Amino acid sequence: MRLNYERNQLMKQLREQMLPQLQDLKVTINPSLAAEPSKTSQTPVLKRKPISDKAAAALLETAQDAPAKIKARLERIAALSKKPQ
């Protein structure tokens, strides 16, 4: 709370400029104002650019020499070229 550190200086300035009878300054925080709103709305639908047949063929060729886990992922990406948009 930076305001608490600056409170004495702030009180001094307020007394000099506007409120000579000022005796105390109380700082309170409303946590609900500082909280970020929750994201309950729908996530936007991402439009993917289609993969060309040539790119899909290159991915499948690369997948032949890849480990099983990577091979499965490359094949899944290559299959996107066959899906209608």
3-state secondary structure of 26: coil
Q: In angstroms, rounded to a whole number, what is the distance separating the alpha carbons of residues 12 and 4?
A: 14
Kindly indicate the confidence band of residue 84, based on its pLDDT and cuts at 50, 70 and 90: low
Q: What is the pTM of this model?
A: 0.43
Q: pLDDT per residue over 18-66, tens digit each?
A: 888 888 888 887 888 777 766 666 777 777 778 888 999 999 999 998 9
Please tell me what DSSP assigns to residue 20.
T
3-state secondary structure of 71: helix
